[in-house]
Amino acid sequence: MSLSRRLGAGLALLLGCAHGGVADAGPVVALTIRPGPGLHVEGKVGGAAADVLLAVEEPRSLITATCLGANTGAEVQVRLPLLQGGWQTLPEVPVTGVTLGPAKLPQFRAAVVPGTGCTLWLGLDVLGRSILDLDLDAGTILVTRDAPKLPAALEQIQVEVTRAPDTDRLLVAGQLTGTAATVLQTLILATGRSSELGQFQARLLGAESVLRIVQLAPGWEACDVPVKTRADWTRAPAIGVLGPEAWGARRVVIDLAAARMTLARPKGAAAPACRQAEDAGPAAAQRGAGEREPR
């Protein structure tokens, strides 16, 4: 049995319990996206404001010790797979008093990671089988168990997504173009961080700070995507992670239960002319510099 299936029932079920919902009705929770790399949303821990991120790339939720106050002791240790490859043993604690937007979450467990300030990454153990409807232009996320009905005025395309057998992380194949090469590679789908590439692979692509083009489906392209490189990347077959800025659409639905990703845009909208902009430079390479990201 895969890791995330062992971990828990998921955010939609937790919120259903919190609101007295039933299995076939699931709540819809509307969240506001805050500035920063990844999907930062409004949230509190123990009544105090916290930096909360929805992080589908994390099998287990993570929390910094600052959020816990005096209750930092942990009798339980958990061994978790690192995003870049390998494993790490971390203390695990029960987390209570978490408010996500308008909804209060029941108690769940999270691994404690280093960091300044109070940051909570909600991983697959809490997000579970939820459906995330992301409208990046409106700055909103709907968390639900029912697939949203996208307006007929939107063109839609399905992106094939698979799951890593050891961690249940979502994997997506993307055509990546740098200044030196164009390749089709497998990457981890990420919502709690910006895009990252292994240092060696980024050097071969000519994308040590910016990917000129990312394409998840023909005609759906993201241009001049800022990337961070990491020398410790050992994970195979994925060469990095793709954050929301690299998906090639501003409206995206991620169905965690079905491992399905839907990209949407207004019908007739012109695709970004990345390939005609050979001289376009890495204009936004430093966006988000200095933000905290786990491990």
Transcribe 31-59 into DSSP letters. Answer: EEEESSSSEEE-EEETTEE-EEEE-TT-S
CATH class for the domain made up of 3-135: mainly beta
Question: What is the chain's length?
Answer: 295
DSSP-assigned letter for residue 244:
G
Distance of CA 130 to the CA centre of its chain: 13
Q: Which pLDDT value is given to residue 16? A: 46
**Assigned CATH topology for domain 150-268:** Cathepsin D, subunit A; domain 1 (2.40.70)
| 3-state SS assignment for residue 117 | coil
Give dist(CA 127, CA 31) in Å, integer.
14
Give dist(CA 83, CA 127) in Å, integer.
17
Residue with tokens 């990201």: 293
Give dist(CA 249, CA 153) in Å, integer.
15
Give dist(CA 155, CA 269) in Å, integer.
9
Give dist(CA 129, CA 10) in Å, integer.
6
Q: Are 7 and 124 in contact (CB under 8 A)?
A: yes
Residues of the chain with CATH 2.40.70.10: 3-135, 150-268
One-letter identity of residue 276: Q
Q: Which pLDDT value is given to residue 115? A: 86
Residues of the chain with pLDDT under 50: 1-9, 16-25, 278-290
Backbone angles phi, psi at 180, to 5 degrees: -115, -20
Give dist(CA 15, CA 104) in Å, integer.
7
Q: Tell how strand 182-189 and strand 220-226 pair up.
A: unpaired
| 3-state SS assignment for residue 249 | coil
Q: Which pLDDT value is given to residue 21? A: 30
Backbone angles phi, psi at 273, to 5 degrees: -90, 55
Q: Which pLDDT value is given to residue 289? A: 44
**C-alpha distances in Å from residue 195, one per residue of 30, 149, 212, 280, 287:** 25, 29, 13, 19, 11
- Here the tokens at position 93 are 């604690």
Sequence-ordered alpha helix ranges (H) in 91-225? 124-127, 199-205
| 3-state SS assignment for residue 66 | helix
- CA torsion, ordered 128, 114, 90, 37, to nearest 10 deg: 30
Neighbouring CB atoms inside 10 A of 143's CB total 25
DSSP-assigned letter for residue 78:
E
Give dist(CA 104, CA 150) in Å, integer.
27
